[in-house]
C-alpha cells in the first residue's frame, strides 16, 4: 500500500550524503548521533564540503572522522580550540568547527576554550553537554549536577568537595570575542529543528568574521546515567534544563537574558 510512495522523487528526508557508511559508535539514543548528523546536513546544505575542516576531541565523538566525508583533525584532549586557532589562522577563508564534549571543553580544555573565544577566533565550537564523561565509563564532569550519581560520585556530587556545575556557555557569552552563543537540545523533533538552525547560524556567522560562534547542545547520556534513552531524555528536561536552560545567550554580538540566568546581562 505504501510501497508506491517510496521513490526518489518523493524523498523528503534522508541522512546527509556527507556521512560515510560507518554506523555510529554512540550508545543507542545518544544525542551525539543526532548532532553529528545535523552538522553534516548543515555543511551539505551550505555546499561547503570542500571548504570545511572539522576537529574532533577526545571523548565519545573522538572517531568523528569515521563518519564524515570532510577533512578532519583529531585534537588532544581539551586542545581543539587551540588546534583550530592554528588551523584557522592558516586558512582564514575555510569553515572550521570543533566538536567537543563537556569533559573535553569544560574541564581539561577550559583555558583553551576561554582564550580562543576571548580572541574571537572565527570558528564554530559545538559543545555537547551531557553532564558526565561518557567514553571512559561515566565519571563526574564539571557539568555534573549536585547530588547526581556518577562512577566518581557514587553517593551523588557533593558541591562542598567537588564544586558546582560549571556553565561554560555563560562564561563564553560574557567574553567580548564571542559573537553567537546559544544552548540547544536534540531530545524532541522541535528541538532538533532549532539546533539545526542554530548550527546553520553559527556556520554562516563565520562569513562575517565577527567572532567565535558557540553552540552548546544539552544531551542525555543514558548509559552513564543508568536509564533507558527515553527516561534519560525526560530526566534531562527535569534536572539538566534548570541548570542549562536552552535558548540564545548572545546574538549578533549582543548578550540576551534567558530563563533564570542571573549571570547574563541584558
Q: Tell me which residues in 217-246 interact with other proteins (CB under 8 A).
A: 228-230, 233
CB 60, CB 101: distance < 8 Å: yes
Task: Tell me if 161 contacts other proteins by CB under 8 A.
Answer: no
Number of residues that bind other proteins (CB under 8 A): 71
83/202 with CB nearer other proteins = 83
**Whether the Cβ atoms of residue 259 and residue 245 lie closer than 8 Å to each other:** yes
Shortest spacing between CB 117 and other proteins, in angstroms = 11
Which three cell numbers, joined as nine digits, stand for 122? 572565527
Stretch that binds other proteins, among 12-20, 143-151, 199-207, 250-258 (CB under 8 A): 12-20
Binding segment for other proteins among 78-86, 134-142, 153-161, 202-210 (CB under 8 A)? Answer: 78-86
The answer to the question of residue 128 lying near other proteins (CB under 8 A) is no
CB of 133 to other proteins, least distance (A): 17
Closest approach of other proteins to the CB of residue 109, in Å: 10
CA distance 258 to 261: 6
Alpha carbon 145 to its chain centroid, in Å, reads 18
Q: Identify the helix (H) or strand (E) that includes residue 185.
A: strand 178-185
Decide whether 64 or 173 has the Cβ nearer to other proteins.
64
Nearest approach, Cβ of residue 11 and other proteins (Å): 6
- Three cell numbers, residue 213: 560562534
Q: Which residues pair with 214 in a beta bridge?
A: 125, 181
Whole-angstrom distance, CA of residue 253 vs CA of residue 132? 30
Q: Which of 59, 68, 167, 172 binds other proteins (CB under 8 A)?
A: 68
Does 46 interact with other proteins (rule: CB under 8 A)?
Answer: no
Shortest separation between residue 194's beta carbon and other proteins, angstroms: 11
Which cell numbers hold the place of 29? Answer: 539514543
Q: Does 33 bind other proteins (CB under 8 A)?
A: yes
| Nearest to other proteins of 111, 147 (CB atom) | 111
List 59, 61, 85, 194, residue binding other proteins (CB under 8 A) = 85
Exposure string (b/e) for 157-172, b if CB count within 10 Å is 16 or more? beeeeeeebbbbbbbb
Beta bridge partners of 139: 133
Q: Per CB under 8 A, does 24 bind other proteins? A: yes
Asked if 199 contacts 13 with a C-beta cutoff of 8 angstroms, the reply is no
Amino acid at each position: 500500500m505504501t510501497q508506491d510512495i517510496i521513490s526518489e522523487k518523493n524523498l523528503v528526508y534522508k541522512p546527509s550524503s556527507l556521512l560515510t557508511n560507518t554506523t555510529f559508535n554512540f550508545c543507542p539514543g545518544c544525542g551525539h548521533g543526532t548532532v553529528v548528523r545535523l552538522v553534516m546536513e548543515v555543511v551539505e546544505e551550505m555546499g561547503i564540503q570542500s571548504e570545511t575542516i572539522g576537529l574532533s576531541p577526545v571523548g565519545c565523538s573522538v572517531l568523528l572522522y569515521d563518519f564524515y566525508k570532510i577533512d578532519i583533525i583529531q585534537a588532544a584532549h581539551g586542545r581543539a580550540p587551540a588546534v583550530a586557532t592554528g588551523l584557522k589562522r592558516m586558512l582564514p577563508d575555510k569553515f572550521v568547527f570543533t566538536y567537543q564534549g563537556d569533559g573535553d571543553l569544560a574541564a581539561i580544555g577550559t583555558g583553551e576554550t576561554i582564550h580562543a573565544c576571548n580572541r574571537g577566533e572565527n570558528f564554530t565550537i559545538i559543545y555537547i553537554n551531557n553532564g558526565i564523561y561518557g567514553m571512559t565509563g561515566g565519571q563526574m564532569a564539571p557539568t555534573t549536577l549536585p547530588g547526581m550519581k556518577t562512577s566518581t560520585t557514587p553517593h551523588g556530587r557533593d558541591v562542598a568537595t567537588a564544586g558546582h556545575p560549571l556553565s561554560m556557555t555563560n562564561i563564553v557569552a560574557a567574553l567580548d570575542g564571542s559573537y553567537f552563543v546559544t544552548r540547544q537540545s536534540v531530545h524532541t523533533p522541535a528541538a532538533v529543528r532549532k539546533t539545526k538552525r542554530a548550527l546553520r547560524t553559527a556556520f554562516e556567522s563565520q562569513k562575517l568574521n565577527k567572532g567565535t560562534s558557540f553552540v552548546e547542545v544539552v544531551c542525555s547520556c543514558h548509559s552513564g546515567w543508568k536509564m533507558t534513552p527515553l527516561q534519560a531524555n525526560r530526566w534531562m528536561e527535569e534536572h539538566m534544563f534548570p541548570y542549562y536552560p536552552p535558548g540564545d545567550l548572545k546574538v549578533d554580538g549582543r548578550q540576551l537574558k534567558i530563563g533564570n540566568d542571573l549571570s547574563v546581562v541584558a
